Amino acid sequence: MLESYYTVKPEGHEEVTIQKSRFIGYVKRCETEEEAQAFINEIKTKHKDATHNCSAYMIGEHDLIQKANDDGEPSGTAGVPMLEVLKKKGLKDTAVVVTRYFGGIKLGAGGLIRAYGGTASEAINKTGIVRRQLMKEMKVTIGYTLLGKVENVVRQSPYTLETINYMENVELLIYVESGQEEEFQNWITDLTGNQAQITQGDSTYVEFDVTSE
C-alpha cells in the first residue's frame, strides 16, 4: 500500500462554453478499470445526443492502467490532453469524461487540445482533490483528570483526533501516519507522565483536502 497519494473527491462536474460549444466535464474516483468504463458508459448514455463524449482515466497504485479516448474528435486532441491533466496533477484512481455539444465554430487541433484539457482541469478543481494518507489508528486510554490537557495538545499536534469515547476511563482514537507509531507512543507517554494505556488498531486511509492548482 502506498504511504500517500492524490485522487479526487468521489464525484463532480463542471460546464464551460468555448466558441459556442458546450463542454461538460465529469469526474469520478474509480478504483478499477471496470468502474471507470461503467462511469464512461453512464455519461455516454446520459448524453447520447452529444457530439462527442471523450474520456481518460488512470487506475492503480503505479498508474499501470492509462486509457484515453477521442470519441470521434481528431486523434490526440481530446482524450490524451485529458490524460495529461491527470498526470500533471498527480492523480490516481481517477476517471474524467468531457461531453461536447458542437456550437458551429470549429476550434482546430490546438483549440480542441486546450478546450478538452482545460475543461477536464476545471472539472477536477470543482470536484476537489484529496490526499489519502495511510494512517494507523491508536487508542489512548487515560483518566478524566488528564482529558483537558491531552485533548488540547493533541488537537494542536500533527496527529488527527478522530473520536473521544467517554466510559469508565476516556478513550481517544487518534490517527498517526504510518511509520510514526513509536514516536507517537513516546510522545503520549511523556505528555501523560506514563499514565496512558496505548494500543494499536488497524491501518486505514484518511483523506485531507488539497488546494487545487
Which pLDDT band holds residue 93 (cuts at 50, 70, 90)?
A: very high
We report the CATH number of the domain holding residue 135 as 3.30.70.240
Check whether residue 90 and residue 22 sit in a common domain: yes
Mean pLDDT to the nearest integer, 168-195: 96
| pTM of the predicted structure, to 2 decimals | 0.86
User: How would you classify the pairing of strands 129-142 and 4-8?
Assistant: antiparallel
Closest-CA residue to 7 (of 69, 82, 60): 60
What does the block give as the cell for 47? 448524453
Q: How many domains does one find in the chain?
A: 2
Check whether residue 57 and residue 120 sit in a common domain: yes
Which pLDDT band holds residue 213 (cuts at 50, 70, 90)?
A: very low
Query: What Å distances lie between residue 58 and 10, 26, 136, 187, CA to CA?
Result: 15, 15, 27, 39
Check whether residue 34 and residue 49 sit in a common domain: yes
Each residue of 160-180: pLDDT tens digit? Answer: 999 999 999 999 999 999 889
Each residue of 36-68: pLDDT tens digit? Answer: 999 999 999 999 999 999 999 999 999 999 999
C-alpha neighbours within 13 Å on the C-beta side of residue 173: 11
Answer yes or no: is pLDDT of 149 > 70.
Answer: yes
Q: Which domain holds residue 177?
A: 131-210
Closest-CA residue to 212 (of 119, 94, 89): 89
The percentage of residues in the chain with a pLDDT greater than 70, rounded to a whole number, is 99
Answer yes or no: is pLDDT of 212 > 70.
Answer: no
Which pLDDT band holds residue 87 (cuts at 50, 70, 90)?
A: very high
Q: Residue 17: which residues within 8 A CB-CB, separation 6 or more? A: 23, 103
Range list of H helices, the chain = 33-46, 79-88, 108-127, 147-155, 181-191
Answer yes or no: is pLDDT of 80 > 70.
Answer: yes
The chain-wide mean pLDDT, for the chain, equals: 96
Check whether residue 120 and residue 138 sit in a common domain: no
**Domain ends where: 103, 127, 151?**
127
Check whether residue 105 and residue 194 sit in a common domain: no
